[in-house]
Protein backbone atom coordinates (compact mmCIF):
# COMPACT_ATOMS: atom_id res chain seq x y z
CA UNK A 1 0.00 0.00 0.00
CA UNK A 2 1.42 3.38 -0.89
CA UNK A 3 0.72 6.90 -1.94
CA UNK A 4 1.59 8.09 -5.43
CA UNK A 5 2.36 11.77 -5.86
CA UNK A 6 2.74 13.34 -9.28
CA UNK A 7 5.95 15.35 -9.68
CA UNK A 8 5.28 18.70 -11.35
CA UNK A 9 7.84 21.47 -11.74
CA UNK A 10 6.00 24.74 -11.34
CA UNK A 11 7.15 28.32 -11.71
CA UNK A 12 5.70 29.20 -8.29
CA UNK A 13 7.59 27.34 -5.53
CA UNK A 14 7.56 28.37 -1.86
CA UNK A 15 10.18 31.12 -1.55
CA UNK A 16 8.73 34.60 -2.17
CA UNK A 17 10.65 37.40 -3.86
CA UNK A 18 10.11 41.07 -2.96
CA UNK A 19 8.05 41.67 -6.12
CA UNK A 20 5.53 38.96 -5.17
CA UNK A 21 6.93 36.26 -7.45
CA UNK A 22 8.54 33.09 -6.14
CA UNK A 23 11.87 31.40 -6.81
CA UNK A 24 13.45 28.00 -6.24
CA UNK A 25 16.14 27.84 -3.56
CA UNK A 26 18.89 25.28 -2.99
CA UNK A 27 16.87 24.01 -0.02
CA UNK A 28 14.11 22.74 -2.37
CA UNK A 29 16.18 21.52 -5.34
CA UNK A 30 19.83 20.47 -5.09
CA UNK A 31 22.10 18.46 -7.39
CA UNK A 32 24.72 16.38 -5.58
CA UNK A 33 27.97 14.80 -6.88
CA UNK A 34 26.42 11.35 -7.42
CA UNK A 35 24.03 12.63 -10.11
CA UNK A 36 21.02 12.65 -7.83
CA UNK A 37 18.64 15.58 -7.61
CA UNK A 38 17.53 16.16 -4.02
CA UNK A 39 14.02 17.58 -3.74
CA UNK A 40 11.85 18.99 -0.95
CA UNK A 41 8.26 20.17 -1.15
CA UNK A 42 5.87 21.39 1.52
CA UNK A 43 2.14 20.85 1.29
CA UNK A 44 -0.97 20.06 3.35
CA UNK A 45 -2.11 16.43 3.36
CA UNK A 46 -5.50 15.73 4.98
CA UNK A 47 -5.24 18.95 6.99
CA UNK A 48 -1.70 18.22 8.26
CA UNK A 49 1.36 20.27 7.26
CA UNK A 50 3.90 17.85 5.79
CA UNK A 51 7.14 17.95 3.86
CA UNK A 52 8.06 15.56 1.08
CA UNK A 53 11.80 14.81 0.98
CA UNK A 54 13.39 12.65 -1.65
CA UNK A 55 15.72 12.24 -4.57
CA UNK A 56 15.58 11.50 -8.27
CA UNK A 57 18.38 9.97 -10.35
CA UNK A 58 19.19 12.34 -13.22
CA UNK A 59 19.95 9.47 -15.63
CA UNK A 60 17.15 6.97 -14.99
CA UNK A 61 14.59 9.50 -13.62
CA UNK A 62 13.73 7.02 -10.86
CA UNK A 63 13.77 7.97 -7.22
CA UNK A 64 12.36 7.70 -3.74
CA UNK A 65 10.91 9.98 -1.13
CA UNK A 66 9.17 10.16 2.20
CA UNK A 67 6.62 12.37 3.88
CA UNK A 68 7.44 13.84 7.30
CA UNK A 69 5.51 16.15 9.60
CA UNK A 70 6.49 19.81 9.05
CA UNK A 71 6.48 21.25 12.58
CA UNK A 72 7.72 24.72 11.50
CA UNK A 73 4.93 25.23 8.96
CA UNK A 74 2.33 23.74 11.33
CA UNK A 75 3.29 26.26 14.01
CA UNK A 76 2.81 29.12 11.56
CA UNK A 77 -0.58 27.72 10.49
CA UNK A 78 -1.76 27.57 14.14
pLDDT, tens only, 10-54? 555 455 566 655 566 666 777 788 888 888 888 888 888 898 899
Q: What is the pTM of this model?
A: 0.60
Q: Which of 49, 32, 43 is nearest to 8 (CA)?
A: 43
Q: Which of 35, 69, 70 is nearest to 55 (CA)?
A: 35
In the 8-state DSSP scheme, what is residue 57?
A: E
> Does the pLDDT at position 77 exceed 70?
no
Amino acid sequence: MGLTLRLVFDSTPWTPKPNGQRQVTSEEVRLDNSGRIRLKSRFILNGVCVQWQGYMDSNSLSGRGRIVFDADRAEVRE
